[in-house]
Amino acid sequence: MSDFHHKPPGADVVIGAGFGDEGKGILTDALAARGGERAVVIRFNGGAQAGHTVTLADGRRHVFHHVGAGAFAGAATHLSRFFVANPILLGDELAALERMGIAPRIGIDPGAPVTTPYDMMINQIAERARGDRRHGSCGLGFGETLERNLNPEFALTAGQLPEERDLRAKLELIRTRWAPARLAALGIGPLPPSDLECWRSEAILAHWLDDVAAFRTRVELEPLSSVAGAEAIVFEGAQGLQLDQDYGAFPHVTRSNTGLKNVALLVAELGLQRLRVTHVTRAYATRHGAGYLPHERPASSLCEAADETNVANAWQGALRYGALDLDALADAIGHDLGHARRAGLQLTSALAMTCLDQVGDSIAFVQNGRERRASPGELAAIAADAVRAETWVEGWGPRRGDLKRLD
């Protein structure tokens, strides 16, 4: 990424305004396409638990986890210090992209935390132990990685991977000292035989070391300053504002700031002053996992959804649906924009509403505590006015060409 030399006057930011799964991938792809190979997508929060779907006109489709959703457009990816890397999962994603003829350029901040197999195991064991009180985790060890990295003795970052002379010894330290103490702190007693077998597995440990070796060959250590001259910069958020660790309803949140808080810090380091912020929502609300979902109802009463990405799974169950609440949407977006305004940034704000092609002639939504109905196009304009966006984007399908009013 060091060959970029035209510094942009500002940057685009794509942020989910709900509980995730809003359509951030298609917006990121479309915005990155403006810069093509001279663009960079910065992942400013989250980790491999993200699932941002991009579908091309020729039918190629990928759900992006590590890699920025601008890769089909030729954009490079920068994983910021707020991103949690998972070497176990990156290899599979890169292999899937390579089968489609895509070899993305990826850089990572040396300070980015790195997930180990034991973070994933602790996460899954703890979530199973919660039973009906699950937090809605994906089971990929995201929050556990951040918890471990608070302790310098057990911390592991991308910058330490090449420097760690004996990575196996570090992993053994995490397995034998950090993990038992963490499980005890979570109130989890003796592990069942199946968990113990995984815990003691030398094959799992060796496989992770192989994954790390592959990670080193595909991901370059680069500071944030390496992207400063990109022709186009797109900050790609993960999850949504309603899951923000400081804004959402605990404990059903992600251990991350999902909006402009992290972006404001990164933008200051890049010396940028202007942001074009697009908050994304579907024409209806969704939530994958446990927690509050207002106006919840069967999907069939809202849309004709065919969601290939958010399939039912053992950790989060099936995707849940609800009528879109414009009052909650406006509160979340207004709160988020405050982070950038307090940082003195110049803002252009937009609202993108996706999945308009799925809702028929009209759809229910809630405003001022009352349920109303509107046609898809009307709802997009009403919602943009409700959140005081300067403009809006309409998504009428899964491809970048299905976005209307993007300019």
Length of the chain: 407
Question: Which DSSP category does 310 fall into?
Answer: S
pLDDT at 5: 39
Map tokens 């409700």 to a residue: 386
Kindly tell me the burial class for residue 200, based on how many C-beta atoms sit within 10 Å of its own C-beta (0-12, 13-18, 19 or more).
Answer: exposed
Q: What is the pLDDT of residues 280-327, one digit of tens each?
A: 999 999 998 788 999 999 988 898 866 665 555 555 567 899 999 999
The two three-digit tokens of residue 55, written as one number: 């579908």
3-class DSSP assignment, residue 162 = helix
Task: For residues 79 and 62, give the distance between their C-alpha atoms in angstroms, rounded to a whole number.
Answer: 19
CA distance 42 to 4: 14
| pLDDT attached to residue 2 | 38
Cα torsion 31, 37, 38, 44 to 10°: value is 60
Element (H, E) at 257: none
Residues 6+ apart with CB under 8 A from 153: 173, 178
Query: What is the phi/psi pair of residue 377, to 5°?
Result: -65, -40
- List beta partners, residue 62: 54
Question: For strand 52-55 and strand 39-43, is the pairing parallel, antiparallel, or unpaired?
Answer: unpaired
Chain segment 224-241, per-residue pLDDT in tens: 999 988 989 999 999 999
Tally of helices (H runs) and strands (E runs) in the chain: 12, 17
Q: What is the DSSP letter of 313?
A: B
Residue with the bigger pLDDT between 127 and 111: it is: 111
For the chain, the domains span: 10-109+222-404, 117-219
At 302 the three-state DSSP class reads coil
Q: For the segment 10-30, what is each residue's pLDDT rounded down to a tens digit?
A: 899 999 999 999 999 999 999
**Are 114 and 157 a contacting pair, CB within 8 Å?**
yes
Q: Which of 44-48, 132-136, 143-147, 263-267 has the lowest mean pLDDT?
A: 132-136
CA-closest candidate to residue 145, choices 101, 89, 91: 89
Alpha helices for 111-252 (secondary structure H):
117-130, 142-148, 160-163, 167-173, 179-185, 193-199, 202-218
Quick one: pLDDT at residue 196? 77
Phi, then psi, of 45 in degrees rounded to 5: -165, 175
- Has residue 131 got a pLDDT over 90? no
Give the Å distances, CA to CA, from 2 to 6, 121, 272.
Answer: 11, 37, 18
Neighbours of 397 (CB within 10 A): 16
* Region 10-109+222-404: CATH code: 3.40.440.10
Compute the half-sphere exposure of residue 185: CA atoms within 13 Å on the CB side of its CA: 11
The strand pair at 391-395 and 403-404 is best described as antiparallel
Q: Buried (b) or exposed (e) across 34-49, using 16+ Cβ within 10 A? A: bbeebbbbbbbbbbbb
The pLDDT, as a whole number, for residue 6 is: 45
All residues at 6 or more sequence positions from 366 whose CB lies less than 8 Å from its CB, including other chains = 294, 295, 323, 324, 325, 326, 327, 372
Token representation of residue 357: 């092609």
Residues forming beta bridges with residue 344, ordered by sequence position:
none
Q: DSSP assignment, residue 192?
A: P
Domain 117-219, CATH class in plain words: mainly alpha
The predicted-structure confidence for 176-233, as pLDDT tens digits, reads as follows 999 999 999 998 877 777 777 888 889 999 999 999 999 999 999 999 999 988 989 9
Query: Within 10 Å of residue 399's Cβ, how many Cβ atoms?
Result: 18
Side chain identity at 317, as an amino acid letter? G
Number of Cβ within a 10 Å radius of residue 210: 12
Cβ atoms of residues 158 and 109 within 8 Å = yes
What are 357-396's pLDDT values in tens digits? 999 999 999 999 999 999 999 999 999 999 999 999 999 9
Do the domains at 10-109+222-404 and 117-219 have one common CATH topology? no
Dihedral (CA of 152, 157, 161, 167) sign: positive
Amino acid residing at 242: Q
pTM for the whole thing?
0.92
**Model confidence at 252, in pLDDT bands (50, 70, 90)?**
confident
Q: Phi/psi zone of residue 328: left (φ > 0), alpha (ψ -120 to 50 degrees), beta?
A: alpha
Collapsing DSSP to helix, strand or coil, 118 comes out as helix
